[in-house]
Structure 1
Amino acid sequence: MYSLFKKISFSLLISAIFITGSVYSQDREEYRDEAIEILESVPLFDGHNDAPYQYRYRVGYKFSELDFYDTTQLENPMQTDIPRLKEGRVGVQWWSVFVSANIPENEAVVQTMEQIDFVKRMAKKYPEVFEMAYTADDVERIFENGKIASLVGMEGGHSIANSLGVLRQFYDLGARYMTITHSRTLDWADASTDAPEHDGLSEFGEEVIREMNRLGMLVDLSHVAKTTMRDAIEISEAPVMFSHSSARAVCGHVRNVPDEILPLVKENGGIIMVTYVGSYVSEELRQYIADREAYERRLEYLYQGEVDLIAEKMEEWREEHEAPTSTLNQLADHIDHLRDEMGVDYIGIGGDYDGTSILPEGLEDVSTYPDLFAELLKRGYSEEDLRKIAGLNMLRVMRGAEETAERLQNEREPSEVLISDFE
């Protein structure tokens, strides 16, 4: 989830659509009906959506105050609602149950439980649309019945408060993946956006991975440091996933997956679900944001305490420096790169809708998935390629985790390891 506490307004990032972009859109439109037909034949997985968190901070989880059938009328509209999910042909949604990594861990446990409760209440509130899923078989059955299968993904190992017992209870509550870290390095795992402490995973962190394998909970490596990626893939006996990360060779953001990790993901049988966060998609936008933030830090040092003057100078800087935009075509470039390096069998989609305010042109909300798949058809991807990217790859990964768990549960008991054993 892109930080909701450092939002960049849409107005700063919207610029005119170039003529070449319009031509691409017209060309793409010829393939849209075929893309929709493909997405109606296979369950389209989205690896990450933060609507539960939106409901938390906007209305305290109250459906009575925010109807999920229309979230467009809000002063700050959401990117997700039921009509647009249907228009986008979303068949399976991994709902992120994100809570801040900066709150006390015991509080994080409670808030994560509340988010899981929200997802389950949502499925009961709108039973004509959603149904909870816990296995790959559930996903296929629910899709065949014309509903959106709802899976729970925990975004950050801080939510287990250093306890394998809590991890097991979250699995029992329905969580089927856990992102090992969010933005903060934990007592047992290094994050990509914080100072490292363990050179990847600590010994207790390795045990977390093993216990996740035994449970059948997918190991999600979005947000973790490169060293943590390596350690987790080496230890995991089940396929791993990146629920919302793109290719670092195309855009150098640290949240993306570097090329040296790609063959490890392939050998493991895992999946990288490309994300739509603008600064993870466009290198030009990433550089622009870095320049802007560096200038703001300079002003804060030069004019300490002069808030109005800093704001005035920042506005002048924005007027002089037009923000580049990320685009659907750039997102497709990430998929091209992953295909060329690994093959189509290890690619999925992880939008991160409602977890970011910076989205590519052409991918502004959850209704736009067919447009991306139309672009891939235009680029020469086969129907079978797109069926894999949309859903078959994720179903394979889920089944791999389930089969591994069945075997491991016959081989060993739940882990009795405590983090204090290593202190």
Structure 2
Amino acid sequence: MTDAAAVERARALLAENPVLDGHNDLPWALREKVGYDLERCDIAQDQSARLHTDLARLRAGGVGGQFWSVYVKAEYQGDKAVSATLEQVDCVHNLIARYPDELQLARTADEVEAARASGRIASLLGAEGGHSINCSLATLRGLYQLGVRYMTLTHNDNVPWADSATDEPAANGLTAFGVEVVREMNRMGMLVDLSHVAPSTMRDALRATRAPVIFSHSSSRAICDHPRNIPDDVLAALPANGGVAMATFVPKFVLQEAVEWTKAAEEALRERGLDPLGTSPEAKAVLQAYEKANPKPTATVATVADHLDHMREVAGVDHIGIGGDYDGVAFTPEGLEDVASYPNLIAELLDRGWSETDLAKLTWHNAVRVLKDAEAVARDLQRTESPSIATIEQLDGAAQ
């Protein structure tokens, strides 16, 4: 564990260069726990008994910007997925309206910087899974108009036009319509998020994109061989693309010993008819009972730092960031229990010899730069390209 002096130094660094985190699932947690009734879960109050996130802990953690995930379950399909995504977007807008002195909607890199200058937490939106657009580029544009600034191409299941990391291969990457989705995102200025997608999809997207990509919450596959992580050849391609890989804290993605334990724990949930990704009280109780009988391997701050060390070595310090995935997981690493914990990670990296300049890139500057670069590409493309009216039937034809 890092010492108190290193943590204080980390807090000082974060006061100047706060965290712009790539992924937090608070909106889904609010949907599941209180049906979006923000009176029943006031994040201006201490919510540590049921959430990883509240305003005081965001401040304590040195968070200056947050991509709020507007995730919906991959089982939600068609219009149900679109409607649920809109409800998630509405939740984020309601949070921002409810706490105007703390949160500020950010649609551009300049607005991110302006929020920081005003002392507010820049609040961006990221859609987690291409099922949210129901194979409609017009729906994709509608989400952009509502403030969504990245879309993860898949979640845990394939979409008709892209393969997921945790499903059986079907498209072997991106279909022709999948390429069109990527290119339309480039034209708008919406970041292409390659977390959750298969390596074949990652590589196809890197070939198709005209703008930098992100991984909003993925770590290194060389350090932990889980399909949700990023292979080294993809990390090595990020400098040419300009993109950013944001290391996540999820124990089952960062600690090799946790992979098999997690598979068995998820099977215990399935046997009881519960969602293996669920964070409901029932799911937590089952997991706690399983853990009591089968103590889980413990990820730590050092485990996450190992990923960042490797990602920096392969991709370069200009192409890494942080995406904690708080309120989207049942377990967190020791020392990274909630959004107040970022100083512990920065202190660990300071102890490992990371410079303050490099840490400032990790926490803030890389993420802001990738937003700016995507906006610049979009401005250029919009001079010569009109909104795409292509359909999946036109481009993928009989494959559908």
Whole-angstrom CA distance in 2 between matches of 1:369 and 1:88? 5
Partner of 1:176: 149
- Residue 34 (structure 2) aligned to one of 42, 52, 59: 59
Superposition pairs of residues 15-414 of structure 1, within 5 angstroms: 24-26=1-3, 29-72=4-47, 74=49, 77-290=50-263, 321-414=294-387
Of all paired residues, the percent bearing the same amino acid is 47
Counterpart residue number, 1:417: 390
Alpha carbons of structure 1 residues 52 and 315: separation in structure 2 relative to 1, 3 Å: closer
From the superposition, tell whether residues 398 and 318 of structure 1 become closer, same or farther in structure 2 (CA, over 3 Å): closer
| d(CA) in 2 for partners of 1:58, 1:191 | 28
Task: Extract unaligned runs of 5+ from structure 2.
Answer: 274-286
Separation in 2 of the partners of 1:325 and 1:390? 25
| Deviates most, 187-196 or 317-326 | 317-326
CA shift for structure 1 position 263: 1.3
Structure 2 letter corresponding to 1:189: A
Change (3 A) 1:318 1:85: closer
Question: How far apart in 1 are the matches of 2:36 and 2:243?
Answer: 33
> Which structure's CA Rg is the greater one?
1
Query: Using a 3 Å threshold, how does the CA distance of structure 1 residues 369 and 418 change in structure 2: closer, same or farther?
Result: same
* Alpha-carbon shift at residue 288 of structure 1 (Å): 2.5
Q: Distance in 2 between matches of 1:161 and 1:417?
A: 14
Distance of 1:420 and 1:66 partners within structure 2 = 44
The equivalent residue for 2:282 is none
What 5-or-longer segments of structure 1 have no aligned partner? 1-23, 301-313
1:404 aligns to what SS in structure 2? helix
Measure how far apart 1:387 and its partner are.
0.4
User: How far is 1:343 from its partner?
Assistant: 1.5
Equivalent residue number for residue 21 of structure 1: none
State the secondary structure of the residue aligned to 2:340. helix
Query: Which letter does structure 2 place at the counterpart of 1:45?
Result: L
Structure 1 residues 420 and 256, CA gap change in structure 2 (3 angstroms): same
- Judge conservation of contact 2:237–2:315 (CA < 8 Å) in 1: no
CA deviation profile, 1:314-348 (whole Å, cap 9, x unmatched)? 99986664321111100000000011112111110
Contact kept? 1:43, 1:140, Cα under 8 Å: no
CA contact (8 A) 1:71 1:78 kept: no
Question: Counterparts of 1:403 and 1:289 in 2: how far apart (Å)?
Answer: 42
Q: Secondary structure at the match of 1:370?
A: helix
Q: How far apart are 1:289 and its partner, in Å?
A: 2.5
Aligned partners of 2:41 and 2:47 also within 8 Å: no
From the superposition, tell whether residues 64 and 290 of structure 1 become closer, same or farther in structure 2 (CA, over 3 Å). Answer: closer
Judge conservation of contact 1:245–1:256 (CA < 8 Å) in 2. yes
- The 8 Å contact of residues 104 and 121 in structure 2, kept in 1 or not, is answered as yes
The 3-state SS of whatever aligns with 2:246 is strand
Kindly state the Cα deviation for residue 101 of structure 1 after the two structures are TM-superposed: 0.9
Letter in 1 for 2:2: S
Q: Please tell me whether the aligned partners of residues 251 and 332 of structure 2 are also in contact (alpha carbons under 8 angstroms).
A: yes
Measured in 1, the distance between the counterparts of 2:18 and 2:384 equals 33
TM-score w.r.t. the length of structure 2 is 0.92
Q: For the structure 1 residues 120 and 194, does the alpha-carbon distance in structure 2 shift closer, same or farther, using more than 3 Å as the test?
A: same
Deviation at 1:286, TM superposition (A): 1.2
Deviations 1:185-241 (CA, angstroms, capped at 9, x unpaired): 011000011111111000000000000000000000000000000000111110000
Question: Aligned-pair distance for 1:293?
Answer: 5.9
Greater shift after overlay, 233-242 or 104-113? 104-113
Q: Give the letter for the 2:310 counterpart.
A: H
Q: Deviations over 1:359-390 (max 9, x none)?
A: 10000000011111011111000010000000
Secondary structure at the counterpart of residue 366 of structure 2: helix
Deviation at 1:295, TM superposition (A): 9.2
